[in-house]
């Protein structure tokens, strides 16, 4: 097993884990009750399940309805419960925003701000590398409602982006790193363009939660699939949308209420509990991920490793400038001499990597990305068969042994095919 040990340069390792280490103390302390006087409090807030909220008078009920923008106001179960409000406070704090709205899923978090900010006749600039279901929502729902969509290359220059804009452009929607292909976008430039167009910049920040301040870079709205790292145990579907300004909060909150977008208290509680250990989980997982990525980079079967902390990843300089660390999700592009069937057989041979959608939990996963990505612009990363790895809490050396066995088998199959 020692043949598969990987030494990660100290500076690289520090750049990958620093943000998670810095975040850990805040995650333990945020959103908790503190004892006062002679009374005691539980470390974890209780779950409050309910639909109907009772008031002492009609006047009090009416007044509560007018305070729907308050972060802790109880009005009706579908407008938020105490544990939901607590989770919203924690997410807003670690995202660098002022308010957050918790919603039932990551896709709901992607869709809600688009519904809030766009109307018939408006134009949206959408990064070509967004999460597939976000693209599907834009194509199947927004277009049906009369919103025009233009996809832009994730690494487009400022002049290229402005050339695609229209007088009706109201939203620029980014995801960085790009879904499956991992291009790290220049959010500072996108924020600058959004200001020039008087448009809102919406950023899907699921990969970079806690590692980047999207609002400091010019974003107006930040989207989170809390299903991933915050919940962290592959047993919860939940999302969040965070804003920095009161005007955006009122627009977002009204749209959430009008469309019935709220999460159940049990999912909120599980996510709040998961957040307490996210920093330490991800410090370990990110360190293992960079070691596995470096090992894969050394393999002859691999053409390119798409890990934002490595120079082989497009937009790496943007990651160095804007992020305080890295997550445990990355992509790998294999030598074009291998076929999609070779990749599938290699994945099927792995024993420690689960095959499944999603990521962010404690377990390692692998998912082929070749053939499953819709693109309008030419990809700069998908030259050969490709897959996405999520690295969990397993021992890194054991994961590498598993991968070595799979890659050795893939190479043997190609040699046999060439000799036939």
pLDDT confidence of residue 380: 66
Query: CB neighbours of 77 closer than 8 A, spacing ≥ 6?
Result: 50, 51, 52, 53
What residues does 367 pair with on adjacent strands?
A: 388
The candidate with the shortest Cα–Cα distance to 234, out of 176, 207, 289, 274, is: 274
pTM for this prediction = 0.94
Residue ranges with strand state E in 205-321: 221-224, 239-243, 302-306
Distance set, CA 347 to CA 144, 353, 370 (Å):
38, 8, 13
Cα within 13 Å of Cα(384), Cβ side: 18
Distance CA 205, CA 175 (A): 7
DSSP 153: -
The backbone torsions φ and ψ at residue 325, rounded to the nearest 5 degrees and listed phi first, read 180, -170
pLDDT confidence of residue 71: 72
Residue numbers in the chain where pLDDT is lower than 70: 1-3, 372, 380-382, 420
Using CA atoms in the order 165, 171, 175, 179, what is the torsion angle rounded to 10 degrees?
-80
Distance CA 130, CA 179 (A): 5
pLDDT confidence of residue 80: 86
Q: Which run of H or E residues covers position 16?
A: helix 10-29
């Amino acid at each position: 097993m020692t043949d598969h040990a990987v030494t990660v340069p100290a500076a690289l390792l520090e750049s990958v884990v620093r943000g998670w280490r810095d975040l850990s103390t805040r995650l333990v302390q945020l959103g908790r009750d503190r004892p006062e006087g002679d009374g005691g409090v539980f470390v974890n807030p209780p779950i409050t399940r309910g639909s109907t909220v009772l008031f002492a008078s009609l006047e009090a009920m009416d007044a509560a309805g007018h305070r729907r923008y308050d972060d802790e106001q109880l009005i009706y179960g579908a407008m938020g419960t105490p544990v939901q409000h607590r989770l919203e406070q924690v997410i807003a704090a670690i995202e660098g925003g002022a308010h957050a709205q918790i919603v039932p899923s990551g896709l709901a978090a992607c869709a809600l701000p688009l519904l809030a900010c766009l109307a018939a006749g408006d134009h949206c600039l959408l990064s070509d590398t967004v999460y597939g279901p976000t693209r599907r929502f834009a194509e199947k729902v927004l277009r049906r409602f009369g919103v025009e969509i233009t996809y832009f290359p994730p690494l487009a220059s400022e002049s290229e982006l402005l050339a695609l804009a229209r007088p009706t452009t109201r939203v620029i929607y980014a995801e960085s790193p790009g879904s499956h292909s991992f291009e790290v976008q220049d959010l500072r430039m996108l924020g600058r363009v959004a200001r020039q167009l008087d448009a809102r910049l919406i950023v899907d920040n699921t990969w970079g939660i806690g590692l980047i301040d999207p609002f400091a870079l010019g974003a107006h709205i930040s989207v989170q699939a809390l299903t991933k790292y915050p919940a962290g145990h592959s047993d919860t579907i939940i999302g969040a949308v965070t804003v920095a300004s009161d005007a955006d909060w009122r627009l977002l909150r009204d749209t959430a209420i009008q469309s019935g977008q709220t999460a159940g208290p049990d999912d909120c509680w599980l996510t709040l509990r998961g957040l307490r250990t996210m920093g330490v989980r991800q410090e370990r997982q990110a360190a293992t991920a960079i070691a596995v990525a470096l090992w894969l980079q050394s393999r002859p079967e691999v053409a390119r490793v798409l890990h934002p902390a490595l120079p082989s990843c497009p937009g790496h300089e943007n990651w160095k400038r804007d992020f305080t660390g890295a997550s445990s999700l990355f992509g790998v592009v294999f030598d074009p001499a291998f076929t999609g069937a070779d990749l599938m057989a290699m994945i099927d041979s792995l024993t420690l990597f689960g095959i499944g959608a999603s990521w962010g939990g404690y377990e390692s996963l692998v998912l082929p990305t070749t053939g499953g990505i819709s693109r309008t612009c030419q990809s700069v990363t998908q030259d050969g068969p490709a897959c996405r790895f999520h690295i969990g809490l397993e021992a890194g050396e054991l994961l590498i042994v598993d991968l070595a066995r799979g890659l050795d088998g893939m190479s043997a199959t190609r040699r046999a095919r060439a000799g036939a």
